[in-house]
A and B are shown apart, each in its own frame.
Chain A
Amino acid sequence: MKKVFVDYKKCLACKACETACAIEHHPGHNLFGALGDTKTQINVRVLGVEHEAFPLSCRHCSPADCLDACPSGAITRDEESGAVLLNPDLCKACAMCAMVCPFDAIAFKETHRARYGRDVAYKCDLCNERIKAGGRPACVEACHSGALVYDDFDHIRGNRALSGLKHYLLGKDDKMPPLVELFRELRRKECQRRRGGE
């Protein structure tokens, strides 16, 4: 079963993944519709972690704490793709899922899929329709630097039930492309400079 892996050292924080996700999940499926729309749903978030950047989204854990905690039947797993899916029609925004999610991958707001005029939980759906049609998640496709990789989980990590972030990280021993290395060095220095100025 395939999952999204992260090689965060290659993340340039360009947010192309966020943009692609917003477009993919917007009813208009275009950037101009998604821009400035408060109901736009973005399921991936680029965090600034010290001097690194990290594109954060649902890890589709197995077993998934959120799925076991949802008392309204809104969270299910697509057994074919492995994606943990959230049905906003059944979601009551009660936050039981967010309360146990190790990765803060579930947020709340009134999205275009909310039916009752209030907030609902929203999270990454692994672009389930796309991947079942043989494609890759929109964020992975949009990532130019190789920080997001959609690949076989069992092949890479063995068939273990895990919810630790380390198991979704790639690239420990990879050599960085020289320009990325330079970029990281500049970013580290800038981070250091700003810290010094605090």
Chain B
Amino acid sequence: MKVVTVGTGMASAEFVQSLRLEGFDGPITMVGDEEFPPYSPCVIPFFLAGEPLETVYWKGANFYERYGVTARLGSPVVEVDTERRMVTSAAGTSESYDRLFYATGARSWYPNPEWLETRGVFGFKTLTDMVAIDRYLREHNVTRAVVFGGGFIGVDAALALWHRGLEITLVHRNTRLLSQMTDEDGGCFATDKLREKTGIDIRLKATVSGITANNGQLTGVGFSDGGSMEITLLIVAIGVSPNSEAMTGQDKGVVVSPQMLADPAVYCAGDVAITQHAVSGDDGIYATYPNAMAQARTAARHLVHGDGVYAGSINTNVLKKHIDFPIVSAGSFSGESVTWQKGDIWRRVYLKEGRINGYLIIGDTRMSGYIYQLYRSQKRVDMSIRAILSSPRHDGYYSEMLGVRGC
């Protein structure tokens, strides 16, 4: 049996590794659009912040050799023919398969794709982007940059470049940064603290409305709320869309079964797969690393042994990069809220029928794992959650775990 993966990202690498660990010894081909071994998108901004490139290859730079993989790199797959069991790349080469693993991830979405033709305008999603930005920074002696987009990737970009020593202006159209992973109060708290701790110039309720260039070289940007800035580096990170066109003809993601099957011979996982949420039951794209790993392992197990189902995704995430100020969130922000705040630490849990429906933990990771476990298990916490959130040494939940009551 011949296995082909479309994509060489984290899900594909985990899938291939799991296949080999499960004892699969047939031929495996991995097809990808970039020329690198599998790398960690979570780690690549650290390369830009000045850390060694080799640490991005989180399963080793020799991945293809180690797992006996034929790598077909440099051209994206543009067509999956499930009838003939064949994939075709943009360069026109075809690859037949018995089982396909489709994990193409997502790509940056650009409001003005033509901006990227200007030197000095970059996306912030792939290792190709990072290498290009790094080279540009070194060649042009850049000291200031504008980052357009204050979501997870935009903030990550701003902090990585700030850590490298650049003066950053971060432009975001919402009232707060990280608007998807925070509620209004938590997001505003986090935004203020990030501004205070880094000195990054954060422009809210604004967008980059236009760019100016000279001979194809970026010279400045204009803002929707008025004003402009002379600048030679613009990072655009305002959103992503799943690379599902080759599979479905649309960029809306790929619906999968609990076995991670999108077709009897095609598994699909990672940031392109539409899965069910383990707690809420809602279908969606839950693009985090732990979800992708669990999906890839489910698929590998199913391929080799014919059993196993995916337990569902969790939309938990944390942003703690280049600065010791974590922002943790999960679930949805509706229901009765319980809030605790002191100094740099801000915590809020949303309760629904006495169970955690969503939470935000900002400024400190302590107790975030315990809250996560309570959220996953959907235990009733309405009697204890206030005491847990406000315990003076942040470890009060140990009395719950140990079953120790006050004397």
Contacts and interface: CB of A to CB of B under 8 A. Distances in A.
Interface of A: 8, 47-52, 54, 56, 65, 68-69, 71-73, 89-90, 92-96, 98-104, 106, 108, 116, 118-119, 163, 165-166, 169, 188, 191-192, 195
A56 B398 contact: yes
B372 A72 contact: no
Contacts of A188: 407
B401 interface: yes
Contact of A99 (B46, B55, B368): B368
B110 to A, nearest CB: 25
A98 B365 contact: yes
A65 B373 CA distance: 10
Contacts of A69: 289-290
A119 B324 contact: yes
Contacts of B401: 165-166
A71 B407 contact: no
B373 A71 contact: no
B326 A95 contact: yes
A195 B407 contact: yes
B290 A68 contact: yes
30 contacts: A47-B393, A49-B395, A49-B398, A50-B407, A54-B402, A68-B290, A71-B289, A72-B43, A73-B40, A73-B59, A90-B55, A90-B58, A92-B42, A92-B43, A92-B46, A92-B51, A93-B324, A95-B328, A96-B42, A98-B326, A99-B316, A99-B365, A100-B373, A104-B366, A104-B367, A104-B369, A106-B365, A163-B373, A165-B402, A195-B407
B1 interface: no
A192 B407 contact: yes
B395 A47 contact: yes
B407 A108 contact: no
Nearest to A169: B402
Interface range for B? 35 or more
Given A52-B404, A95-B328, 7 more contacts: A49-B395, A50-B405, A71-B42, A72-B43, A98-B365, A102-B373, A165-B401
Contacts of A92: 42-43, 46, 51, 55, 321
A192 to B, nearest CB: 5
B318 interface: yes
A100 B290 CA distance: 10
Interface in B358-378: 365-370, 372-373
Contacts of A191: 407
Nearest to A192: B407
Contacts of B55: 72, 89-90, 92
A101 to B, nearest CB: 4
B370 A95 contact: no
Contacts of A102: 369-370, 372-373
Given A49-B399, A71-B289, A92-B321, A99 B43 contact: no
A72 B40 contact: yes
A47 B399 CA distance: 10
B321 A50 contact: no
A56 B366 CA distance: 13
B10 interface: yes
A72 B293 CA distance: 13
Contacts of A68: 290, 293-294
B320 interface: yes
Contacts of B368: 98-99
B227 interface: no
Given A69-B289, A95-B328, A192-B407, A49 B402 contact: yes
B406 interface: yes
- Shortest Cβ-Cβ A-B pairs, 7 listed: A73-B58, A101-B369, A71-B42, A95-B320, A98-B365, A71-B289, A165-B401
Contacts of B367: 104
Contacts of A49: 395, 398-399, 402, 404
Contacts of B395: 47, 49, 56, 104
Given A49-B404, A68-B294, A72-B43, A96 B318 contact: yes
A92 B326 CA distance: 13
B4 to A, nearest CB: 24
Contacts of A93: 320-321, 324
Interface core residue of B10, B316, B407 (most chain A CB under 10 Å): B407
A124 to B, nearest CB: 15
Nearest to A45: B395
Contacts of A101: 369
Contacts of A165: 401-402
Contacts of B50: 116
A73 B406 CA distance: 41
Given A49-B398, A99-B328, A108 B365 contact: yes
B43 A71 contact: yes
A179 B35 CA distance: 68
Contact of B393 (A8, A48, A51, A118): A48
Nearest to B58: A73
Given A69-B290, A94-B42, A116-B51, A99 B372 contact: yes
Nearest to A89: B55
Interface core residue of A8, A100, A119, A191 (most chain B CB under 10 Å): A100
Contact of B407 (A8, A51, A94, A100): A51
